[in-house]
Structure 1
Amino acid sequence: MKNKKFSSTLILVLLVNIIFAQQIMSPDEFLGYELGSQFSRHHQVVDYYNYLAENENDRVKIVEYGTTNEGRKLRLVILSSAENMANLEAIQENHLKGLQSEETGNTAVVWLSYNVHGNESVSTEASMKTTHHLLTQRSDFLENTVVIIDPCINPDGRDRYVNLYKQKKHKLLQADGNSAEHYEGWQSGRTNHYIFDLNRDWAWITQKESQRRLVAYQQWMPHIHVDFHEQGVNSPYYFAPAVEPYHEIITDFQRSFQDQLGRNHAKYFDENGWLFFTDERFDLLYPSYGDTYPTYNGAIGMTYEQGGSGRAGLGIYNAEGELLTLKDRIAHHFTTGISTVEVAARNAEQLITQFNSYYKDSETANTSYIIHGNSARLAALQTLLEKHGIETQKASNQKVKGFDYLSGSEKMINVDAEAMVVSTKQTKGKLARVLLEPKAYLSDSLTYDITAWSLPYAYGLNAIETEQRIATSTAPTAKESKTALQKSYAYIIKWNSFESAKATAALMQKGVKLRNANRYFGFDNTNYDPGTMVVLQRDNTEIDNLNGLMNALQDNYHVEITSTNTGYTDRGKDFGSSYFQQRKQPQIAVLRGDGVSSYSFGEWWYFFEQDLNMPFTAIDTNYLSRISLESYDILIIPSGRISSLSDRQNEQIKTWTQAGGKLILQGSSLAFAKKLGLSLEKKKMEYDIDKRLPNDMREREMMKYQITGAIFKAEVDQTHPLGYGLDAHYFSLKLNADNYELLSSNNAIAIGKNHRAISGFAGEKVQKNTAKTLLFGSEGLGRGQVIYLVDNPLFRGFWYHGKLIAANALFQN
């Protein structure tokens, strides 16, 4: 009897699927071409999903969660059975109760993210096929799942790639990898408008797309999240399980369920004779990926990687002589997408139970992070944490024993009521630990990305990690009241955080002239350090209502502004001293194009337009020698292969600098110092590799000479303009093993004898080589100046305190 009932149900499902299949146009039918025969532009993808929502409005819902920098729509497509969709809000509400360890419903939530890298273009195409198949052939999977599809996380990058490919493609399939259509050029489609990698931005949410996606993600908090990617042309398909290192908080269930999914995928790949690999290359550590961030939020977070990427086009021959087509790539991503939903539907109850357990475990956590320091930096970190749903509290006055981030040792310290407390005993406690702990445990030094990111270090704050129970203030935080500034002889802006730089840029945009103090001074009980900005009434007689402008400034920025009616200081230099030089908005140019890292340029681009809201001129290396640099005060050469500049361009930049320009060199572009005849020297490292070592051991032996994103403690000369506003120590994120000898003078920020990495992996040999090396400094050249940025102060836009160093390079002497 049971078998007859089952057979009847199955027949009914099949009949329903046949009816749906007849009613709903496939992507091929709607678009007018076979998927894989050409690339679909973003507007065509939007149109197809609109069509589905209009014709299947009881099973398909579209949620627009934002727009890109270039105005393209960011959308989620939500699929489920008609019954579930009718109760979608209740399902969503019940599911989110799991975060509070309450009993929830019986519907699993699966989120499939496509095309975070725009030139990994197959996945958006696969998303349409997957959606159509779920609605027409496997609607049974939707009975106990809600499937959320983000067809294209990065439509700006994808359309950039698709448009460029269409411009260069041949009429007939050209699968020769040497053909121009298989090369994108300097600004590839991988990144977003600002040339940021959105797959490194989940936790830092610097980019518009990431910020809007996070809001949508927190409204659902899926049980499974898959990030669809592509890798090199010659690589077979990759799917989970991931390789070590895994972060310690990842549960046994999260590990084992990856394996369960992988075995289901393998079944289909084996049937088709498709190659794949697992447990290699892709780890689960760095928290800002599309697999790790969901994992640290309780999901089964995974990356799926198809061979192809920006070089593959519609078809390309790989190293084995096999033709890899766009249709092949679609088929592979389609298969793992459907397989994922299948496994979720089959294990919905277990997914829900284990997800709830992940959050229930936080109730017994007892680690707290007490973070203290500059109030503006503290406020910036608090804003970031709260966007992730991490709760913060104010401390009460007390003594606390724990691990002190600044000294790197156990200490007893006095905590005041200005400190911020983050406890792991909260809903997002595990995520808080990942982001705030001083160092993540590494089970393996071979990693895919950086191994250190602790946010107190990134924000220039000190912290204590403690197991001690912390008393917090229950009183609501009073809104800081600021005394209105009266019209005065001068206004004084303390220079102690990146907020000071943002406020300075805002004044410059209004045409306000400022003077920066190159020596300390004081009035009454207040001392002002070098770097302080002074706005004199006499310098700004053409500015209407300067006093109103200054009051608006202190309301809009987290800065300390005071006023005085005299230029006669109680201590230090007076305002008429030569140590107070007038500053107006500098004219800035940044090199881009061949020879310059597109990522490095993008970080400066974002820094100027989104952080400082300042104009700059982007100059391409292709036409640099045909223009004059005379109208620019500052020229920035981001990291890159500076050897690609011609002799004429080298001489052009040298002459401009000698005439009084300020040249800023970053990262690998420091090699340009040699061409300028300056004294900067790269520190040599002696390699001592046993030549008899077996090949399978050489990679690990070489790790002794590598840095995979580690944090080092550096000493700051607070009297050097690059060190203005910083504390006595700066924590720098070193991304590679490049070290430079100390200069004879003007070593603004340097690593001293204490050369050990305080967080993250750095090989034994390279750590020794890091002792007594330069991080940030300067040299004179004629009447000009060359600024050296050895480490990247703008890395991925999230190393907040580094932005102050970049601002010092612009605004201070």
Structure 2
Amino acid sequence: MKKTFCAAVLLFITSFSVFAQLKTPSEFIPNYGKQISYYHQVEDYFTYLTEQSQFIKKQKYGATNEQRDLNVYYISTPENLANLEQIRNNNLAAIGLSGNKSATVDDKIIVWLSFNVHGNEFAGTESALTVAYELLNPSNEATKQWLKNTIVILDPCINPDGYSRYGNWLREVTGKKNHPGLYDREHMEVWPGGRYNHYLFDLNRDWAWQTQVESQQRIKLYNQWMPQVHTDVHEMSYNSPYFFPPAAEPLHEFIEQYQKDFYNVLGKNISQKFDKQNWMYNTRERFDLFYPSYGDTYPTYNGSVGLTLEQGGIGAGREITMENGANVTIKDRLTHHATAVLTVVESAASQKDVLLKGFRDFHSNARIKAKGVYNTYVLKANPKLDQLAEMLKKNDIEFSYADGSGNASGFHYQNKKNESFKIEPNDLIIKADQPRSVLTQVLFEPNQKLNDSLSYDITAWDLPLAYGVEAYAVKNNLSVKTKAKIETAAKTVPASVYAFYVPWNNRSSAQVISLLHQGGIKVRSAMKKAVFGSITVEPGGLIISRADNPKIADFEKTVSDIIKIKSDYSFITTGFSTNSKDIGGENFVLLKAPKILMLSGKGIVSTEFGATWYYLDETISYPVSIVETSNFNRVKLYNYNTLILCDGSYDFSDDQKKQIDEWIKNGGKVIAMSSAISLFQDREGYALSLFASKEDKEKSEKEEKEIELKKRFLDFEGSERREISGSIPGAIIENKLDKTYPMAFGLGNTYFSLKTNERSYSLLKSAINVAYVPKGYISYGFVGNNIKKKLNETVSFAVDKRGDGSVIYMMDNPLFRGFWENGILLFSNALFLVN
């Protein structure tokens, strides 16, 4: 008995001794604070912490494209960790997202800490190690007090692929000695940089859209917890002083006072810590709270206090001399972050009751009365609703479909007018009265109130316009009968089919043609409407006929297996149309399978390249050869029929330009986006020109000179405001379509383009102006006064036919951030339908 007792005491003492001697990050990772840690070292340290401490628990919530683990760590008292599931359910039950409230577990405040959404802002992940250590440190009595009523959810690296890309590069280019001078290669990151994920997407712009696998997996877990505080840890230019809340204007009008109050609490508490160390900082500058897909705004619109912390460090490498002569090191950067983050946890713990009340009132009040003008959003039945419904599901936004008809009136997104309309079966209906009421309204309110035009990001994102779906915002609740989903009847394919018809109306159409081309199956596309009995083939519709594919043994099964991903396909039993548009006639054009070359590398905008790469690789799974621009001379261009030039600067030689010119004349197709179109501007043989005539050019130059003369009398203080009058940070612009041309097929009556630059070209002569901005156009979001009038009657998308080939000019990027669904269809048109 005595031996057993002694053994137990010894075990307790040994265990206590282990916990009391928890290793710091510096003791565990060689050169911590002096060199970037490998991602596996970060994971190893957290594994060590979970093995040595009872105050931390790990959960793997996913994996990246490059198969690195995505993990969160729950940090709290052992008692709280034992009741995590009850605490989570209680939190959701309090805001109407769960009915499983337990009376035996006290309310806790949940603080989620996210680090390193941008891979090259690596001091975030480095600081996460110190934050975790201090929260677990047995000798830190303060943190143990915080954890009694707090659940910390710590994600040490949101973007492991980008972090690893940057980290491996930095270690490869650095030696034993630091080089704080500006002109060392460790301060000159190479293309594409470590900021972005595998597909070069900016994950900090992807919270709401969830195009990327990291976002999808993380936000699924986030929505299962719904924290009261979310901290997004970043870095910015190395010369910048530290930033913490309060945020800058514009602040979205739906942000509650309790959220603003806590921003002020944080500002005061963090500033006190920084003042004691004489660290420089700023608040209420640059970083606003408006665009809904950030790591601070998305949580904020879900009732949390979402906030950004920014440390100067991008481009600093291991150490750099700032413009004030002081050096900033990795240790400095991670220490500043750790101090600020721990202060957030401390402040949240001290404000627990206030935050819990504000969080719960946020959700209950939003359901009682919509914050916005409208209570219901009606989106007319359309195949594009399939993708919109998927996005809503990812965000846990409730919706239903009309199961009857009715009359209503509301704001029409497409013409910005109030009008009467008819609700019909299968219209998608979204109510503001739902648990995620505020987020729903932020995403669907047609006119976002921008209380300051100096915004950090795009200022409009109206989803019906992004998806190309006719929609109405209605002020009152609707009484129409609804259903949870649209039932589609299973198709029975007959034993003998003359041809299959696949409508061209959403991204699934592009996925189908991708599979058909890769399967070596010949496919045609309709130029005009054709009628075959009860089947109406709309322009762009795909026809797969037995006659074009005589070598396919089991034609019906082979084709139906491929096209079944599109539920609205049909089959045709005759090639004879009732409106003189027979399948064997000139109305049905045989499509060429694209053989694609895309250029990458220095000078090309990483995210714009990434958006196109992602579209090809993930959205439609179509093969593409990607070649660095420096290796362009090694390419035999005649092996390809399609060349994609993403936004960027292309330093082609005169010989290379001539090579491209000849290739186009012989049947090649170039898709040039944004600044890449400048390669063809004012060049002999091409239609692209800024001005339609010499007179227009002279008039514009005269106006610019007059503006410059007037500027002489203006004060300096207002220069920034005046500058934005000629800018368009991101607004939605109406475009008129040439619906008779294949590049416009399936887009609807009007195309709304997301314009993120000031580029404007007059309507082109001797070219096909597929989409252009009409005079007196409709717009959403901020458009500077000077640029607003310049956009009238300017072209957005055009096709320049040269010889047997063509150049497709895209002044705006239709694949921007991967969420502009109608833009995905437009790009698919350019790729597959424009021969």
Which category of TM-score, normalised to the shorter sequence, fits these structures? over 0.9
* Contact in 2 for aligned 1:775/1:790 (Cα 8 Å): yes
The secondary structure found in structure 2 opposite 1:801 is helix
Give the counterpart of 1:624 among 609, 632, 656.
Answer: 632
1:597 aligns with 2:605: yes
- Residue ranges of structure 2 left out of the alignment (5+ in a row): 1-12, 692-696
2:178 is matched with 173
Decide which moves more: 16-25 or 783-792: 16-25
Decide which moves more: 511-520 or 236-245: 511-520
Aligned residue-pair number: 793
**CA–CA distance in structure 2, aligned partners of residues 712 and 795 of structure 1:** 14
* Contact in 2 for aligned 1:595/1:645 (Cα 8 Å): no
1:23 aligns with 2:21: yes
1:347 aligns with 2:351: yes
**CA–CA distance in structure 2, aligned partners of residues 638 and 682 of structure 1:** 20
The secondary structure found in structure 1 opposite 2:447 is coil
**CA–CA distance in structure 2, aligned partners of residues 630 and 121 of structure 1:** 43
Give the counterpart of 1:64 among 46, 60, 65.
Answer: 60
1:503 is matched with 512
1:82 aligns with 2:57: no
1:467 aligns with 2:475: yes
How big is each residue's C-alpha offset from its partner over 1:627-660, in whole Å with a ceiling of 9 and x where there is no partner?
Answer: 2100101001111123x22222222211211111
1:430 aligns with 2:469: no
**CA–CA distance in structure 1, aligned partners of residues 298 and 419 of structure 2:** 32
1:12 is matched with none
Q: How does 1:110-149 map to 2 (within 5 A)?
A: 110-136=111-137, 137=140, 138-149=143-154
Decide which moves more: 62-71 or 177-186: 177-186
1:809 is matched with 830
2:669 is matched with 662
**CA–CA distance in structure 1, aligned partners of residues 658 and 191 of structure 2:** 24
Q: How does 1:641-720 map to 2 (within 5 A)?
A: 641-642=649-650, 644-674=651-681, 675=683, 677-683=685-691, 686-687=703-704, 688=707, 690-720=711-741
**CA–CA distance in structure 2, aligned partners of residues 381 and 160 of structure 1:** 33
2:215 is matched with 210
* Contact in 2 for aligned 1:711/1:760 (Cα 8 Å): yes
2:44 is matched with 47
The secondary structure found in structure 2 opposite 1:488 is coil
1:782 is matched with 803
The secondary structure found in structure 1 opposite 2:291 is coil
1:36 is matched with 33
2:391 is matched with 384
How much does 1:476 deviate?
A: 4.8
Decide which moves more: 67-76 or 395-404: 395-404
**CA–CA distance in structure 2, aligned partners of residues 623 and 554 of structure 1:** 38
1:308 is matched with 313
2:586 is matched with 578
How big is each residue's C-alpha offset from its partner over 1:716-764, in whole Å with a ceiling of 9 and x where there is no partner?
Answer: 111111101121111111111111111234111111112342x100012
Q: Which amino acid aligns with 2:94?
A: G
**CA–CA distance in structure 1, aligned partners of residues 468 and 297 of structure 2:** 25
* Contact in 1 for aligned 2:502/2:541 (Cα 8 Å): yes
* Contact in 2 for aligned 1:298/1:355 (Cα 8 Å): yes
Decide which moves more: 98-107 or 407-416: 98-107
2:238 is matched with 233
**CA–CA distance in structure 1, aligned partners of residues 171 and 475 of structure 2:** 59
How much does 1:18 deviate?
A: 9.8
How big is each residue's C-alpha offset from its partner over 1:28-77, in whole Å with a ceiling of 9 and x where there is no partner?
Answer: 2222x242121111111111111111222x32111101110001000001
How much does 1:473 deviate?
A: 2.1
**CA–CA distance in structure 2, aligned partners of residues 345 and 19 of structure 1:** 28
**CA–CA distance in structure 1, aligned partners of residues 17 and 113 of structure 2:** 26
Q: How does 1:295-334 map to 2 (within 5 A)?
A: 295-309=300-314, 311-334=315-338
Identical aligned residues as a percent: 38
**CA–CA distance in structure 1, aligned partners of residues 483 and 238 of structure 2:** 59
* Contact in 2 for aligned 1:141/1:345 (Cα 8 Å): yes
How big is each residue's C-alpha offset from its partner over 1:752-801, in whole Å with a ceiling of 9 and x where there is no partner?
Answer: 112342x1000122111111111111111222111111111000000001
How much does 1:474 deviate?
A: 4.4
Q: Which amino acid aligns with 2:799?
A: S
Give the counterpart of 1:549 among 558, 562, 573.
Answer: 558
The secondary structure found in structure 1 opposite 2:218 is helix
1:489 aligns with 2:488: no
Q: Which amino acid aligns with 1:41?
A: Y
**CA–CA distance in structure 1, aligned partners of residues 396 and 369 of structure 2:** 17
The secondary structure found in structure 2 opposite 1:240 is coil
Give the counterpart of 2:360 among 356, 361, 364.
Answer: 356
Q: CA RMSD in A?
A: 1.9
**CA–CA distance in structure 2, aligned partners of residues 368 and 722 of structure 1:** 36
What TM-score, normalized by structure 1, do the two folds share?
0.95
1:7 is matched with none
* Contact in 2 for aligned 1:106/1:348 (Cα 8 Å): no
**CA–CA distance in structure 2, aligned partners of residues 409 and 425 of structure 1:** 24
**CA–CA distance in structure 1, aligned partners of residues 66 and 198 of structure 2:** 7
What TM-score, normalized by structure 2, do the two folds share?
0.92
Decide which moves more: 218-227 or 474-483: 474-483
**CA–CA distance in structure 1, aligned partners of residues 725 and 756 of structure 2:** 15
The secondary structure found in structure 2 opposite 1:165 is helix
* Contact in 1 for aligned 2:125/2:157 (Cα 8 Å): yes
**CA–CA distance in structure 2, aligned partners of residues 142 and 23 of structure 1:** 20
How much does 1:677 deviate?
A: 3.5
How much does 1:201 deviate?
A: 0.3
Q: Which amino acid aligns with 1:315?
A: E
The secondary structure found in structure 2 opposite 1:461 is coil
* Contact in 1 for aligned 2:379/2:471 (Cα 8 Å): yes
The secondary structure found in structure 2 opposite 1:540 is coil
- Residue ranges of structure 1 left out of the alignment (5+ in a row): 1-14
1:97 aligns with 2:93: yes
1:531 aligns with 2:540: yes
Decide which moves more: 667-676 or 369-378: 369-378
* Contact in 2 for aligned 1:374/1:497 (Cα 8 Å): no
1:107 is matched with 108
**CA–CA distance in structure 1, aligned partners of residues 16 and 285 of structure 2:** 41
The secondary structure found in structure 2 opposite 1:99 is coil
The secondary structure found in structure 1 opposite 2:762 is coil
How much does 1:593 deviate?
A: 1.0
The secondary structure found in structure 2 opposite 1:116 is coil
How much does 1:399 deviate?
A: 1.3
* Contact in 1 for aligned 2:510/2:620 (Cα 8 Å): yes
Decide which moves more: 497-506 or 658-667: 497-506
How much does 1:20 deviate?
A: 7.1
Q: How does 1:273-292 map to 2 (within 5 A)?
A: 273-292=278-297
The secondary structure found in structure 2 opposite 1:412 is strand
**CA–CA distance in structure 1, aligned partners of residues 14 and 152 of structure 2:** 19
How much does 1:471 deviate?
A: 1.6
* Contact in 2 for aligned 1:749/1:775 (Cα 8 Å): yes
